[in-house]
Amino acid sequence: MRIDAERSSEFNRRFGIRFEDGARVEAVLYRGDTLCISTQVGCSVGCPFCASGAQGLARSLKLPELVGQITCVRERGYEVKRVTLSGVGEPLLNPACVEFVHACRAERVPPSVTTSGGSAELLRRWLHLPHNGLTLSVHAGEESTRARLVPGAPNLATLFDVLQEHLPKLSRSRRKKVALAYLLLAGENDSDEELDAFAERALPLAFDVQLYSQNAVAHSGLRSPEEPRLDAIKRRLEATGLHVRRSSKARREANGGCGTLLALGPGDSRKQ
Ligand code: SF4
């Protein structure tokens, strides 16, 4: 495997990674020391706002291909102090990611993960793995919205049942490493009713909430609300007692921001 492209911007350095079978994914070095790696070639979850899963799933990456993304970036002379499994793919649906988390721990490179949930059984297992942070992409307060925006993932009732059962079994410090993500999309999930329904689910478990903005991608017309509405939503959720943060500038950059990473299956000759 090798890096076949590199593009830098104010906060991010974005790499194209080509594998032996011709498949290609992308990885991003955020802020000079945190590497966001891809876990699958494409994605089966099919979120309509995301470029990574727009062509479906070609295959999962193997353990050497996960580790190799770190190696390739280091070989270019960059430091990788932390790794996040938040690039192309749903990490919980790739069994090699469990081994990868243990391998990262052994190498003292703390691994965090962003997931749409995988399945009830997988989420249960991952809550107890030695990750350095698990962010659960929720993006909805109502089941119908969840089904539309995160179609190939567990529904809200399943997610919150697992969380209610398993968070109390974690130590206080481990519980603090579990957060919820809510990508705000105008006209889709930004109504007061939807946000109140989300807060009602999240509040009993005292989650930290990351509010994400949509990065423009070619195949989707979905967009986030304007800034004043984003601020008002943050204040509304905070007023319920939730601890809320907006997504960082690095995650909002066109170069490598959330949802913008691309995958090509083996034999796919489209240019990136
Ligand atoms: S947001 Fe994540 S889970 Fe959804 S399609 Fe993109 S890579 Fe897959």
The alpha carbon of 90 and the centre of ligand 1 are apart by a number of angstroms equal to 6
pLDDT for the residue 269: 64
Does residue 265 register a pLDDT over 90? no
CA-44 nearest atom, ligand 1:
8
Confidence band of 272 (pLDDT split at 50, 70, 90)? low
CA-116 nearest atom, ligand 1:
3
Residues 140-156, mean pLDDT to the nearest whole number: 98
Q: What is the pLDDT of residues 224-262, one digit of tens each?
A: 999 999 999 999 999 999 999 998 777 777 776 778 888
- Outline where 142-182 has alpha helix (H): 143-149, 156-166, 172-175
Which CATH code of 3.20.20.70, 3.40.50.261, 3.10.20.600, 3.90.550.10 fits the domain covering 2-252? 3.20.20.70
Q: What is the pLDDT of residues 185-206, one digit of tens each?
A: 999 999 999 999 999 999 998 7
Give dist(CA 172, CA 155) in Å, integer: 26
pLDDT for the residue 270: 63
pLDDT for the residue 214: 86
Where exactly are the structural domains of the chain? 2-252
C-alpha distances out from residue 232 to 180, 183, 217, 229, 237, Å: 19, 15, 25, 5, 9
Confidence band of 78 (pLDDT split at 50, 70, 90)? very high
Q: Is the CB of 253 under 6 A from ligand 1?
A: no
